[in-house]
Amino acid sequence: MSFYDKVRTQKFLSFSLILFTLAIGVLIGTLVQTGAKAAKEQNVAPDATPLTVPPPVMMQNEFSKIAKRLEPSVVNISTRYIPKKQATQNRQSPNFRRRQQPQDPQQDDQQDDSGMQQFFQRFFGGGGGGLQFGEPQETPSEALGSGVVVDKNGYILTNNHVVDKATQIKVKFTNDATDYPATVVGTDPDTDLAVIHVDKKNLIAAKIGNSDALQVGDWALAIGSPFGFQATVTAGIVSALSRDIPDSENPGHSFQHFVQTDAAINPGNSGGPLLNMNGEVIGINTMIASRSGGYQGIGFAMPINTAAKVYNQIIREGHVTRGSMGIQFVADDSKDRLNVYGADHGVFITQIEPNGPAEKAGLKVEDVVTSINGKPIKLGQDLIDIVADSPVGSTLKVGIVRDKKPMTVDVVVADRTRTFASLYGGAKTGPERGPESTQMKFGMSVSPIRPADRQEMGLKASGGVQVTDVEDGSFAYDLDLRKGDVIVELNRQAINSTEDIRRIQNTLKPGDAVAFHIMRQAPGARGGGDWISYYPAGRVPEGNQ
């Protein structure tokens, strides 16, 4: 090998060595950097495994199935109340002032808890603008509640206190932003139930169950609009059955035997359904016992069997009729008193209503009622339940003990509101089944007054027709005409029949002056005879029908 070949070979080897050294350095640097990075990442949570979200799978249980099925049948109810004295003024202004709740929520807790009003708060909701049960409605107000569709033609069950005295009622369905106006078909204050109607067909009606099948410990779902949050579902169990809530105004006269539940019920749930695990309505949520007014307490629902009876009477007659014997008694009598009078069970009669069924049948004060139609009577509530459900005009075989001797008396059942008019219907201001009402102009209905009814009412004025209904917002409403008023003159012309009113109305046109002479029973009057003259007047408005 020549000298030059040796030099070239040596340079090539040197260059190759340099390249090899550089490659080794780069490789070592890469490995060191990667290892350091991996070590750094593993030091945060070396034993952790990344999470993986699976594909969505519906995991339905019975609660969710029931909620989905009932969702179209449960409605939100909003109401407005406008006092008559402020109706005209408020119709000119779109603003309605809500009644304020107490500033200190614990202030009510420090008050006396006696009586139904202090202990039970019936709900309207509305977050500070609701009305509480039993409180005077003296200012315009708005309120919220719930209801359940029970007929596809638009008939809805709810609570009476949700719609009581409301001048405007609107119903909203789930997933439907429309506010549907509703009208009251009828109410029953004794059970706090009401039936309202919306002009909307082909609705999905909830399935009605049988509350007699309920047992303590059964699951229960409540659906409604607590605090205005529509279609809210809560779950609990049936805590107790046949809870009797005392009425402080009429002790011993209760038609409310509630289903007690611990399912969360809040203001705004009133009128919504309580459901069993078959998705059947077993009750109408009505009230809670709670110091805070929230669900941290006990919920009560009217059993659907009772609600169904009330509903059926309302859609048939527009009201609920209950039977009466015309007696007053000791609700839960002591054994000692009963033993003295010769009975080991029963209720002790303390008063007989004059000219009532009991007096006509020969019952007397100090008699002890021991049975009705062969069924033992142990408590006053037993007697109430049987007699109240008995048809008016039916005959009951009442077993009694008098002077320690047992006997049976036939008692013909009468209408409770007629037998105890001062307690349950106010004074008797009109015929029970008198002539039918006639719809007149000015937004009122009137009916003739029969001589017998005139005498019973204690009305000395001759002639006249009685107002049987006044439409909210009408001309008659603005003039403050009221149901029970007797119209004796219209524009100084005597009124002796409905045709007299029609004839005079036909001569009037918008803008003409109108003056009534009416007779109205004096405030607080309990019987006939206390009638006062009133002379409301105004001008016929445009478009009056």
Same domain, 295 and 238: yes
Q: Identify the burial level of 249 via C-beta atoms within 10 angstroms of its C-beta, where 0-12 means exposed, 13-18 middle and 19 or more buried.
A: exposed
The whole domain housing 367 covers 323-422
Helix (H) / strand (E) element for 410: namely strand 405-412
Question: Is pLDDT at 480 greater than 70 in this prediction?
Answer: yes
Same domain, 78 and 217: yes
In a domain, 109, yes or no: no
In a domain, 519, yes or no: yes
Q: Is 267:124 a contact under the CB 8 Å cutoff? A: yes
In a domain, 52, yes or no: no
Domain closes at, from 254, 286, 320: 320
Helix (H) / strand (E) element for 67: namely helix 62-70
Proportion of the chain above pLDDT 90, given as a percent: 13
Same domain, 283 and 135: yes
CATH of the domain at 530: 2.30.42.10
How many domains in the chain?
4
**Residue 12 — very low, low, confident or very high, per pLDDT cuts 50/70/90?**
low
Structure confidence at residue 486 (pLDDT):
92
Same domain, 150 and 183: yes
In a domain, 104, yes or no: no
Same domain, 72 and 206: yes
Average pLDDT over residues 407-419: 86
Closest C-alpha to 223, from 293, 167, 147, 158: 147
In a domain, 386, yes or no: yes
Q: Which amino acid is at 191?
A: T
Provide φ and ψ at 86, rounded to 5°.
-110, 5
Residues taking part in catalysis? 161, 192, 270
In a domain, 544, yes or no: no
Structure confidence at residue 427 (pLDDT):
40
Same domain, 201 and 85: yes
CATH of the domain at 126: 2.40.10.120
In a domain, 257, yes or no: yes
Residue 33 makes CB contacts below 8 A (sequence gap 6+) with: none
In a domain, 505, yes or no: yes
**Residue 474: Cβ within 10 Å count:** 17
pLDDT tens-place string over residues 318-338: 888 888 898 888 766 667 778
Same domain, 23 and 74: no
Q: What is d(CA 146, CA 216) in angstroms, rounded to the nearest whole number?
A: 25
Residue 352 makes CB contacts below 8 A (sequence gap 6+) with: 326, 327, 358, 359, 363, 364, 365
Domain closes at, from 302, 320, 338: 320
Q: What is d(CA 465, CA 32) in angstroms, rounded to the nearest whole number?
A: 109
pLDDT tens-place string over residues 346-386: 888 888 888 889 888 899 888 899 999 999 988 888 888 88
- The reported pTM is 0.57
Q: What is d(CA 306, CA 193) in angstroms, rounded to the nearest whole number?
A: 10
Q: Identify the burial level of 2 via C-beta atoms within 10 angstroms of its C-beta, where 0-12 means exposed, 13-18 middle and 19 or more buried.
A: exposed
The CA-to-CA distance between both ends of the chain, in Å, stands at: 134
Query: What is the SS3 assignment for 244?
Result: strand
Same domain, 125 and 273: yes
Q: Is 491:436 a contact under the CB 8 Å cutoff? A: no
Q: Is 521:427 a contact under the CB 8 Å cutoff? A: yes
Same domain, 166 and 89: yes
Structure confidence at residue 521 (pLDDT):
83
Same domain, 155 and 244: yes
Same domain, 510 and 395: no
Helix (H) / strand (E) element for 36: namely helix 3-42
Same domain, 122 and 229: yes
Domain closes at, from 320, 336, 356: 320
**Residue 22: Cβ within 10 Å count:** 10
